[in-house]
Amino acid sequence: MICYLDNSATTRPTEAVADAMRQCMLEGFYNPSALYAPAVDSEKRLTACREAIARELHADPARVVFTSGGTEADNLAIFGSMSMQRGGRVLYTAGEHPAVAAPCESLKGTFDVQQIPYDAAGVVRLDVLEELLTPDTRLICVMQVNNESGAVMPLCEIAQLRDRLCPQAMLHVDGVQGFMRLPVDMRALGIDSYALSGHKIHGPKGIGALVMGPRMRVAARMLGGGQEKALRSGTENTPGIAGLLAAIEAYPRDNNMRAVKLHLYERLREIAGENFRVNGPDPASDIAAPHILNCSLVPVRSETMLYALEGDRVYVANGSACSSRKQRLSPVLSAMNVPRRQAESAIRFSICPYTTMEQVDFAADCIARHYEMLKRYERR
């Protein structure tokens, strides 16, 4: 059995996605900017995908810009909007993905860039945010769901603080880990931009989107033929867009991810006993995403357990896939003030709608076997 529990890194495309992409590449390969009938059909596929995204987010389909993924969408929102501003404050949360943190940090010198800290559960501290929001705040960046801890951010409360203290500030949400897994209403919340990625929802890699509210204005970061309303030039990735549309349409909205995650949580707690720690919110709480569980089985170091599990074809992570090869403690866990020894044992399990109880039981059995042996060799 292959037990893949790293779905926050990427997901396996469904058969419907692969079929849609194959059909588009072999039969619907026409350039959507051309004027003849088959090309117009390609353009209709783009329109259908914009409409599907907009329905999920309660947004305007005309304000959906296709990108190469979540990273480009975040960069377009941050650099594209701030290039129209001169000075002021930019805020981002302490555990943001590098796709948000790095662009924000690069604005230092031109803008007053500040981090919003987390509490011990990995959730934004609203009391500190309230102090940081000033009349000259230009941009607030926050992820919908933290990719490592699974903490769900209080978007409603953040938007309310923005509306009261600095209503002109743009609110950008990195929704890569939340899209299709948790509902969000951009219109009701007053979210000004939202980034998403196809390969996190069983779609293809290389496709994503930036969805903008009516107030958001961005300058293009890529110039050329003027595609995507001149905001993202270059011939559209029609196979990727076809795959993204198929992924949205096929995504199982009624699923038991939370039940499967909680079952895994109980198994792991039994295995490690008093040495078990959760790195994030209470897994059963509303502020915990249904698909991510980050925990430590002290004293076994995470990379040791990962290598042991790989031999069983059980695949998990010790942090974000974008930084897992870097030999340093997770910035997310550091922002949560997780003790070093506990952070060194942290493992992220991330499931999907297709993950079964049988798979997580198999993973837990393998972990139990390895843990009994490895805990004897604690590094001092």
Instruction: Give one DSSP letter per residue of 80-121, joined into a string.
Output: HHHTT--S-EEEEETT--HHHHHHHHHTBTTBEEEEEPB-TT
Q: With the C-alpha atoms ordered 65, 136, 132, 115, is the resulting torsion angle positive or negative?
A: positive
Selected catalytic residue, list 3, 141, 166, 322 = 322
| DSSP one-letter code for 375 | G
Catalytic, 166? Answer no
| DSSP one-letter code for 152 | B
At 69, which amino acid appears?
G
Q: What are phi and psi of 116, to 5 degrees?
A: -95, 120
Q: How far apart are the C-alpha atoms of 66 and 244, rounded to whole Å?
A: 10
Which residues contact residue 292 at a Cβ distance below 8 angstroms, ignoring those fewer than 6 apart? 8, 145, 146, 147, 148, 149, 150, 177, 261, 280, 348, 349, 350
Comparing CA positions, the residue from 327, 361, 303, 325 lying closest to residue 9 is 325
Instruction: Give one DSSP letter per residue of 174-186, joined into a string.
Output: E-TTTTTTS---H
Residue with tokens 């996190």: 200
Compute the CA torsion angle 369, 375, 379, 380 (nearest 10 deg): 180
Q: Which residues are identified as catalytic? A: 322
